[in-house]
Amino acid sequence: MFTLKRLSRDAIEAALERAERYRLLNEPWEAESICQDVLAIDSGNRRALVTMLLSLTDRFQRREPGAMAAARELLPRLDSEYDRCYYEGIIFERRGKALLNQGGPGSGPMVYDQLRRAMECYEKAEPLRPSGNDAAILRWNTCARVIMAHDHVRPGVEEPAQTMLE
């Protein structure tokens, strides 16, 4: 229908600053669009990949279908194992917090599962972290505190399978 206009290479930095501002203004669609424009001319731009991933996770609060899958699809494009582990943790953590905020009957075990998965990712990232970067530790502690602060955020109880009698 439309042919998208191409961003010039010398506009990348300003465009990414704008994308980050749109994220702060809670306008993830705009930030994501800018990142798509940057990635169209610089497919490996780490800042664009991370900003786009975070923009997709901003959409979790709005219950937008496909946002989690789209965010996870970006992970292999990140060039370091640390980034892949850390940002996978961010995805699970933000999904868990979105579920917590949305509430609903039986949401506690789902929140717990997402936060524990995030914590596992942060544990994988921790030994890979660059010197002086304790972000994975800070995120792990946050997840632990969220779980400890909410009585209903607990592991699900598996019901024993029932066999049908004839």
pLDDT score at 106? 86
Q: Measuring CA to CA, how many Å separate 63 from each of 43, 56, 67, 95, 120? A: 28, 11, 8, 10, 24
pLDDT score at 156? 83
Nearest to 85 by CA among 43, 117, 45, 49: 117
75-112 pLDDT tens trace? 999 999 999 999 999 999 999 999 999 998 889 999 99
Domain final residue pick, 38, 64, 90? 64
Structural domains in the chain (count): 2
Task: Give me the domain span that covers residue 49.
Answer: 9-64
- What is the band of 160 on the pLDDT scale with cuts at 50, 70, 90? low
Q: Is residue 40 located within the same domain as residue 106?
A: no
Q: Is residue 91 located within the same domain as residue 151?
A: yes
Q: What is the mean pLDDT of residues 24-37?
A: 97
Global confidence as pTM: 0.90
In a domain, 74, yes or no: no
Q: Is residue 85 located within the same domain as residue 134?
A: yes
101-157 pLDDT tens trace? 999 888 999 999 999 999 999 999 999 999 999 999 999 999 999 999 999 999 987
Q: Is residue 54 located within the same domain as residue 88?
A: no
Encode 24-60: b = buried (16+ Cβ within 10 Å), e = exposed.
Answer: eeeebebbbebbebbbeeeeebebbbbbbbbbbbbbb
